Structure 1
């Protein structure tokens, strides 16, 4: 529904924040601080480096993007020195700050900021009020940045972007040579572009090992998480597999609860409960007949909960997880790694499914409190390196059985975390969670692009309203859709909502997952998201925002209303313009089709159904 505003209202209305919908991509006006050029004078090193000597090299990689290399050398092996590296930058046009980690206690500033991603590595960005990058930096060294912290300090008309090296818990080993590389990006691009490029540089080895993005033959994915959470038997879920084809699902992720159906003895000898064996066999065969891929999820893959396992590896575990009443096995022992590898390899040989989801595989151990026990034959001292060895050996063993086996994502998912025991693969049901779910989706997409490991499973309760189902899907649609529900008890309008939005995601995959991705308003936790490619532009609004229609429509524009309210505001680029439009509700049904004739209007309002969208043609 179209609502008109008269010209007298325009002056007051223009005070509202405007996000311009530029259908033809136009480079934003650049900010070049007067008299600012990046050289050695802009870099300060504070702290005593003795007995090390230092040198600095600056290389311009491309326009306004620099690589800083700091070298330290000592005549003899010595303890690493504690020091800081600071880059001074004028703060005139920086209005927001973004950090992939929590701000350190060395940071102090007054401007709005974001620091909830909870990543294992730091990328810091200073940006304008319109989310344009002014400075983004990150670093890497041979210690994987374990002894580096980042900070930002506001001093007068200057912002100091800094790295603190070897200040907290420095390595015990001595060094003679050390190099840290710092990437500094001053390009005037959307901050999402600067962050993603910094992440690709920081995680270059992992990005290079991935030759393709998301495999669209595997998504969308149906998860058994929510039905199993509601104690619905697997045989009941099996009977519903035929119905999944109507939703265009391509694969199934079986929740961690599947292990309670299969009774296994310890080590490499397996006995199954006969009834459960038949249930799992029938489920596995039926999904094969339907051409669906199957993945099994382990939330805590390296626990020794069985008393026999605990006794066999007594003293060879890292710590005890009280809530789970399980020991965490210590991968620094070769016999532990052998046990774990044999367990999974033998189980996989019997079942031959498409892959495992190993939750916490890349970052489960290092953050935990590690117990210091007597050395009973460890061949590694570092837990992280031992875990890398376990991962590599496990991959090698499983790929010798099936070269195409899936072993989970290369990247560790980032937050924000929602609980102390947050799993990599989490799930949500109520609409109250969608804001933090959306935030988590954006952070993973910012850092990893279309290779995002975001997998927040969307559960659908039988009593969910279909509008809520649409809004929940819109909170995950810029990641990989993983949905979980029980079809038998689902109302027809919910089924239609899911079918429509899964089809919308598939049809618009190229723009949603491969197009330019631009979350809006960092300090407000991304209340709007914009994606576009050469043929289409999509905005999704999660909170109130005023949008400006472009001068001419050179590509299709969808504006999705994921708010509770129906009112959407638009500013007209030039009075007298005409726009053809269609309005759809959350079920995908067209409710209105017309031509917007602006005449002397400067602003217009539309009533767009919650969970629905307006399409400008």
Structure 2
């Protein structure tokens, strides 16, 4: 049963109900600094604003879960001034945390500025994390080295910018100073506004706390999550690392598609290089915006698409609708409707607050799909459209029908998705980190890790970080490795991203025989267990170490993956199970608290060589000899 209680001022926590009622009646609820008890935390809400009255309330949702509601009521319509929510979390059995990756720098920067760090910094050196509709999710999770939740803090606001800052403070008892900022960036004027902060301190696996948070976001915002067609769950091939832009043409794409189908892939993503760009090397996005087929590379593009689809492959195209190149034909028409210039790309980032911009971009992509018969889009660079990059003092009005960049971006993506869905009810739309907010999950059915070629740890960490806060299917960054790589080391690229959909991106026409055997065998195993791998209930262990192992199960399948030498203690071992050795060691050790009985196992190398078949008892401490990058099938 939910329990609600009103604001309690510091020093008055034991005051009688009569006196509290008196204080609420006669003391100003828009006091600049208010303090309220949320569970065991003393939370301060600070910010001066003569135009808004501010009231607070706390609701106990369940033991260990509380909501702080902050309500604003304006005397006139206006943009609220910044509000800071702050509190100190005692440092008790907290060893690491998960946090949004972006910082609050006001200038545009590289996609690679979002480092993954599990270290909680000292408070005077803590970076402020920026979240919005197109930048991560407004939440932080603190946990211990046993992967148990200690605090998951989140905001209900998913569109407008919110900032998070956490740092360790040794004063007044060692703990973490947390600050959450509202209205620090430009936002549309309002007369009333309400936001909820969720505090979850339950002693449960952090994955469960995050799954419950995802449900809360969906319910609070009444989200309508995009449909995920079955083909989004099956292996993909992407041309990016294999062909780059220069190698994209009809023959090369068809050759890769044919070989990828034989491996078990069902969709090909044709990345940059398909569009008309007379001098693409002069600038990465110099011709973006027109999205016209390069007729020299594809003399009959529609026929080419049909040919690939006749192989049993779905066909997707890469686009970056946020970027308008200076050499594109549309640039002259839209050049006064841009947010800023992305110097690294020699292109401009379009301002979606102009209805002309949204109309052009949505119609161009919808018509491109209609004209070519493709099955969907890989939509890139949407995280470049946000208030952080555009600066705090955005011009408003002058033809713009939205005052919020984020709100207009959501409208644009909604129009693109709705139009494509009308053409194909099973349309495939892929977004990429960092625009993975739950609100974005209404307009895409696949979310991919940001570029991290040949980086096992990065790809593993990013896919697992994203999975528990996402209703949609998670895709790994395309897999690529040196053509002379040891086959066991090459296999790690796939094994460490098992709980996401693989996208192969090596040149299959040049692949050596051992690599081909490895991919064929492992993708077959992946397809066999793909339901558990992409839709099962997952528990990931060792997030403080960028993950040591994972398990995921459905009612009849279990997959256990070891990423680092560790002891595996799966909760389940269903009748059809797969145990993966994603390490260089030649053994796996399990410590089982439940007796799973005597089972038949088959031990394979990563290329599919059966080493032995035997019966073993899965009870207590179990050691199984299996080569590095090898697998164990359990029946």
Which bin holds the TM-score, normalised by the shorter protein?
Answer: 0.7 to 0.9
Contact 1:138–1:202 (CA under 8 A) maintained in structure 2: no
State the partner residue of 1:511. Answer: 532
Tell me if 1:343 matches 2:364. Answer: yes
Tell me if 1:189 matches 2:204. Answer: yes
Q: CA deviation at 1:402?
A: 4.6
Provide structure 2 residue ranges, at least 5 long, that are not aligned to the other structure. 1-36, 106-119, 281-286, 438-446
Contact 1:101–1:121 (CA under 8 A) maintained in structure 2: no
Tell me if 1:385 matches 2:407. Answer: yes
Which digits, 9 at most, give the CA deviation of each residue in 1:104-136, with x for residues without a partner?
99x8669xx999998533322232331112321
Tell me if 1:562 matches 2:582. Answer: yes
Query: Secondary structure in 1 aligned to 2:330?
Result: helix
Query: Secondary structure in 2 aligned to 1:610?
Result: coil
Contact 1:150–1:163 (CA under 8 A) maintained in structure 2: yes
Structure 2 CA distance for aligned equivalents of residues 574 and 337 of structure 1: 56
Structure 2 CA distance for aligned equivalents of residues 211 and 345 of structure 1: 17
Structure 2 CA distance for aligned equivalents of residues 250 and 140 of structure 1: 37
Tell me if 1:310 matches 2:331. Answer: yes
Query: Secondary structure in 2 aligned to 1:257?
Result: coil
Distance 1:568 1:508, change over 3 A: same
Which digits, 9 at most, give the CA deviation of each residue in 1:387-424, with x for residues without a partner?
23333333444455555544435985569xxxxxxx96
State the partner residue of 1:320. Answer: 341
State the partner residue of 2:143. Answer: 127
Contact 2:354–2:401 (CA under 8 A) maintained in structure 1: yes
Q: CA deviation at 1:233?
A: 4.3
In the TM superposition, 1:42-441 aligns within 5 A as: 42-47=41-46, 51=50, 53-73=53-73, 80=80, 82-86=82-86, 91-101=91-101, 120-141=136-157, 144=159, 146-151=161-166, 154=169, 156=172, 159=175, 162-166=178-182, 168-169=184-185, 173=189, 177-204=192-219, 208-210=223-225, 212-213=227-228, 215-216=230-231, 219-229=234-244, 231=247, 233-260=249-276, 274-278=295-299, 280-299=301-320, 301-306=322-327, 308-361=329-382, 364-369=385-390, 377-402=399-424, 404-409=426-431, 412-413=434-435, 429-430=453-454, 433-441=455-463
TM-score, normalised on structure 2? 0.75
Contact 1:412–1:453 (CA under 8 A) maintained in structure 2: no
Contact 1:317–1:329 (CA under 8 A) maintained in structure 2: yes
Structure 2 CA distance for aligned equivalents of residues 93 and 289 of structure 1: 57
In the TM superposition, 1:445-456 aligns within 5 A as: 445-449=467-471, 451-456=472-477
Distance 1:561 1:43, change over 3 A: same
Contact 2:39–2:66 (CA under 8 A) maintained in structure 1: no
Structure 2 CA distance for aligned equivalents of residues 479 and 317 of structure 1: 36
Structure 1 CA distance for aligned equivalents of residues 501 and 302 of structure 2: 28
Structure 2 CA distance for aligned equivalents of residues 518 and 147 of structure 1: 28
Say which is worse superposed, 220-229 or 398-407, in terms of deviation. 398-407
Q: CA deviation at 1:259?
A: 1.3
Structure 2 CA distance for aligned equivalents of residues 41 and 282 of structure 1: 65
Provide structure 1 residue ranges, at least 5 long, that are not aligned to the other structure. 1-37, 416-422
Q: CA deviation at 1:455?
A: 4.1
Query: Secondary structure in 2 aligned to 1:276?
Result: coil
State the partner residue of 2:559. Answer: 538
Say which is worse superposed, 539-548 or 201-210, in terms of deviation. 201-210
Q: CA deviation at 1:288?
A: 2.6
State the partner residue of 2:24. Answer: none
Tell me if 1:608 matches 2:626. Answer: yes
For the aligned residue pairs, the C-alpha RMSD in angstroms reads 4.4
Structure 1 CA distance for aligned equivalents of residues 66 and 520 of structure 2: 47
Structure 2 CA distance for aligned equivalents of residues 324 and 549 of structure 1: 46
TM-score, normalised on structure 1? 0.77
Contact 1:414–1:443 (CA under 8 A) maintained in structure 2: no
Distance 1:289 1:73, change over 3 A: closer
